[in-house]
Amino acid sequence: MTSPAVDAAPRAGTRADLARAVRDSGSVGPGAFPTGVAFGVLVAQSGLPWWWASVFSGLIYAGSLEFLFLGLVTAAAPLAAVAVTAFLVNLRHVFYAFSFPLHRVKGRLGKAYSTFALSDEAFVVATGHAARTFPGRRILWLQACIHLYWAGGATVGALLGSALPAGTGGLDFAVTALFTVLAIDGLLAHRDVPVPLLALGCALAARFTVPGQMLPVAFASFAALMTVRHLLRRRGEDARA
């Protein structure tokens, strides 16, 4: 028979990981929440019922894609256009998988949720220097806290947006501002200067060569360059080993 002390140990560890994850998410959650509020206001202003903000943020949970998806839905865009847009916008998650510590997360359900909730904010925190010793439960709680920040903000924003006058503009810039802050935080944490330089170079090249297709060309070229860079670095590490 298992003693009460042994039964209490896993629960105490879970509570401790949850408390730490709440503190960890405090560095990015205050940025995710107002961005979620901005998204919720846009949902309400688009004419959709307020609860669609909760559905989008809870089930899609893709940040920038949700802003784009809202426009695609209200414009009744073809399914193929929605699929291509989702693929291009979320292509960056392929590179997140190279360094995100998914191997520490235990169980199929835990890994499935961690993959689903792999947001930009969670990636920045979970791959930082201080997170190298985070156990799997702490990573999962961290992602759940950030998810709650975003979904809660979207719900609050939708309720507030229902009471605001129509024509509120400029809120779609919120996600751009959040990505800018995350990019700066990631650069300060990793000091990997070539990455933002590659991104800037791809954006400028696409802007001046194919301005009508800037985003897909810039995304594709940056993805190709990052793949080549990763393979070269891995080959160099294998050679030194």
CB 72, CB 82: distance < 8 Å:
yes
CB 20, CB 135: distance < 8 Å:
no
Residue 12: half-sphere exposure toward Cβ, Cα within 13 Å? 6
Check whether 152 has a pLDDT greater than 90: yes
The residue with greater pLDDT, 48 or 145, is: 145
Q: What are 17-65's pLDDT values in tens digits? A: 888 888 988 888 887 888 888 888 888 888 888 898 998 888 888 877 7
Q: What are 184-199's pLDDT values in tens digits? A: 766 676 677 788 888 8
pTM of the model: 0.67
Q: How far is CA 144 from CA 27, 56, 118, 163, in A?
A: 14, 16, 10, 29
Check whether 6 has a pLDDT greater than 50: no
Mean pLDDT of the chain: 80
The residue with greater pLDDT, 130 or 7, is: 130
Check whether 176 has a pLDDT greater than 60: yes
Going by pLDDT thresholds of 50, 70 and 90, the confidence category of residue 139 is: very high
- Burial label, 225 (beta-carbon count in 10 A; 0-12, 13-18, 19+): middle
Give the sign of the dihedral formed by CA 72, CA 76, CA 81, CA 87.
positive
